[in-house]
Structure 1
Amino acid sequence: METWDAIRARRNVRTYRQDPVADGDLDRIAEAGWRAPSASNRQHWDFVVVTDPSQLQELSTVWRGAGHIANAAAAIALVVPEPADERTELVDQYDLGQATMAMAIAATDLGIGTGHSAVGDQEKARAILGVPEGYVVSYLLGVGYPADRPLKPLLKPARRPFEEVVHHGRW
């Protein structure tokens, strides 16, 4: 798929087929996150790729919006060190957003869907993933083949009108 098509086809997928995602494809998706830009090239992130169904089921309980993780073929947890200050937290979260989008687009390019989730219960998430103290499991990215419809460019996405969102020169 061309990059522009992958950007237009990417959508949040919350229902997945039971087909596994190949290890090579999971590595490629994770590599896209690894290659994402980060402030001052700090790369504070770590990614934990999970494919064990019981572990995915447990992860689905760390946030009220993480239920889709239970039925995903895999999930990628995005982890950063506990921030030293508010600015570090802000920058790290921005960097994780860039990594998440890079992974989502890479997955879409492979015909694989993704759906992101926050993490509420840090203690539980760290225990499930074996993440040491001093780190925050910020987000989960469910990964799998969409159950409802294949990924293809959306011609009329459910978005605010382009003309209302994009301003040139001034608001």
Structure 2
Amino acid sequence: METWDAIRARRNVRSYRADNVSAQDLERMAEAGWRAPSANNRQRWDFVIVTQPDVLVELSTVWRGAGHIASAAAAIALVLPDADDEKTRTTDYYDLGQATFAITLAAADLGIGTAHASVGDQDKARRILGVPQGHSVAYLLGVGYPADRPLKPIVNPTRRPYAEVVHRESW
């Protein structure tokens, strides 16, 4: 898929086929996140790739909106070290957003769907994933092939009108 097509095809996918996602494709997605830009090239993130079905089911319980993780072929946990100040925390989350989009775009390019979920129970998430204290599991990405329809460019997305979002020269 061309980059522009992948951007237009990417959507949140929370219902997955039973097919596994290859280790090679999971590594490609993780590498996309690893290559994402970060402030001063700090790269304070870590990624944990999970494919064991029992662990995915357990991870699905760390947040009320994470139920799709249970039926995903895999999940990628996005982990950050705790920040000492608000500026670092804000920068880290901005950087993690860039890494997340790189991962989801690489997935879309492969025809693989993703959907993010927050993590409410940090202690449980850290225990499940073996994440050390002093770090937080910021988000989970469910990963799998869409159950309903394959990814393809969305011609008329359900978005705020472009002309309302994009301003030129001033507001």
The question of a shared fold, defined as TM-score above 0.5 by the shorter chain, is answered with yes
Equivalent position of 2:155 in the other structure:
155
- CA distance in structure 2 between the partners assigned to 1:91 and 1:9 by the alignment: 28
Structure 2: segments with no counterpart, 5+ residues: none
Q: CA deviation at 1:144?
A: 0.2
List aligned pairs for 1:127-142, cutoff 5 A: 127-142=127-142
- CA distance in structure 2 between the partners assigned to 1:81 and 1:68 by the alignment: 26
TM-score normalised by L of structure 1: 0.99
- CA distance in structure 1 between the partners assigned to 2:61 and 2:169 by the alignment: 45
Equivalent position of 1:73 in the other structure:
73
- SS of alignment partner, residue 7 of structure 1: helix
Equivalent position of 1:51 in the other structure:
51
Moved over 6 A (4+): none
- SS of alignment partner, residue 48 of structure 1: strand
Identity %: 72
- CA distance in structure 2 between the partners assigned to 1:55 and 1:101 by the alignment: 24
- CA distance in structure 1 between the partners assigned to 2:67 and 2:61 by the alignment: 7
Equivalent position of 1:145 in the other structure:
145
Q: What CA deviation, in whole Å up to 9, does each residue of 1:32-90 have, x standing for no partner? A: 00000001100000000000000000000001110000000000000010111111110
- SS of alignment partner, residue 14 of structure 2: coil
Equivalent position of 1:164 in the other structure:
164
- CA distance in structure 2 between the partners assigned to 1:92 and 1:84 by the alignment: 11
- SS of alignment partner, residue 157 of structure 2: coil
TM-score normalised by L of structure 2: 0.99
- CA distance in structure 2 between the partners assigned to 1:56 and 1:89 by the alignment: 27
Amino acid at match of 1:49: I
**Alignment length (residue pairs):** 171
- CA distance in structure 2 between the partners assigned to 1:51 and 1:85 by the alignment: 34
- CA distance in structure 1 between the partners assigned to 2:166 and 2:117 by the alignment: 27
Structure 1: segments with no counterpart, 5+ residues: none
1:29 aligns with 2:29: yes
- CA distance in structure 2 between the partners assigned to 1:153 and 1:144 by the alignment: 18
